[in-house]
Structure 1
Amino acid sequence: MHATEGGMDGSSQRSCMADELDIADTADLSDSWTVTSLGDYDRYQKHSGNVINIVWQYGDAVKKSLTMESDSYRVTLPYSWHNKITTSVDGSTITVTDREHPKYALCTFQVSDSSNAGDIGTSLIQKYQAGNTPVQMWATRWAFVAASDPASISADDAEDVTDLQTGGTVEYDSISAQIRAGDTSGVFAIDDYLKAHIGSARKVAHFGSWPSMAR
């Protein structure tokens, strides 16, 4: 919660993003909140004595832009990737890339029940079950690739991609130095962020034509 002192009457303002309060949906905010749409955000505001409480939530357009749908499932991507990624859908495969570095995928989703888990460079990160459809999320740990095979990606590009893959929660130079010293534990911050911030794969409903009604 972010607080600022107000006017001469001693009033103060407290504000935060909805996910800081673990509010998943606007329905969790009561009718006593005043809602204002401001670009990418919806602002929920409520007065309580001398305190103004404000909760910011991403608007429907942002949520929709981060929901990717294949022919059999859909996934929700992190808010931190808004306006920073490019996505492509090929049948049942969804690929997410860094908009500024489109050669490097942040993660890929595919329908599979394979037990293959890959290797430390490119690995199976998470398994989902979308109805009867098994979905897997894979990711290349570009920080590791840059350190172990510098010809495949530059350090600058790897830093940018890793920043998105971890939500900016790690120091790239530190991870890179650890890898070169033989310690690869830092790269798993990528796994932690993707698992925590990508919504579970959900089944896509397909509706057939309505049956004709006899008269």
Structure 2
Amino acid sequence: MTGPVGLGFRVLKGGSVVVGVTTNGNEPRIVSSSFLATAAENDRLSLEPYHVAAEMARGPDGGASAQAAAAVAEGRRRQDMCAAAGLGDIIDTLRTAGSEPVVAALLVNRAGWISDLLDYSLAFADHPPVAEGLAVRDALRFAFGRLGIDVMEMDEKSLGESASKQLGLESADIDARLKTLGTTVGKPWRKEQKLACLAAWVAVAARR
């Protein structure tokens, strides 16, 4: 039986890296490292609904057509269902192994000002990828709510600074520990996994 576990989420296309961390005193330990898909295999609508919508004919006013809006709504529904199912599987696996997830740490950026992702996607060609990432975050929020998991949202750009304050460690010490932690789980252990791990570490430390 381990102590409370924090789950860190760092969004990528089609889902999120998920790293589970518990602590023994001030020492973090990884209990899981995986990818939670928010898109079904060979289902483009759940993978990139805003790209699909951007390729569709516009409405009479030049904005989104009813068909595009319906496509996005269906794609987002599928993403929500995938996220809830995937998170449920991760939680079940952890609980079977004697771990109890108590908090999710979701890494976000400063794009929260975008109120309508579909209109935003249609404005410029480089906007759909941004919307897709925000949609995955919304799918994760849906899953957290569906499964009753508390969530802490953390700004990715200021994570290092806030982690140093919360953990009482210098950034070099944190980097060294993250590198060592990676050797306990193997590849992949890229930037995304390190960020998710650090977010989870901060979140579970804050709960103690």
State the TM bucket, normalised to the shorter chain: under 0.3
Which has the greater radius of gyration? Answer: 1
TM-score using structure 2 length: 0.22
Query: Which structure has the higher relative contact order (CA within 8 Å, separation 6+)?
Result: 2
TM-score using structure 1 length: 0.21
Q: Which structure has the highest helix share of the two?
A: 2
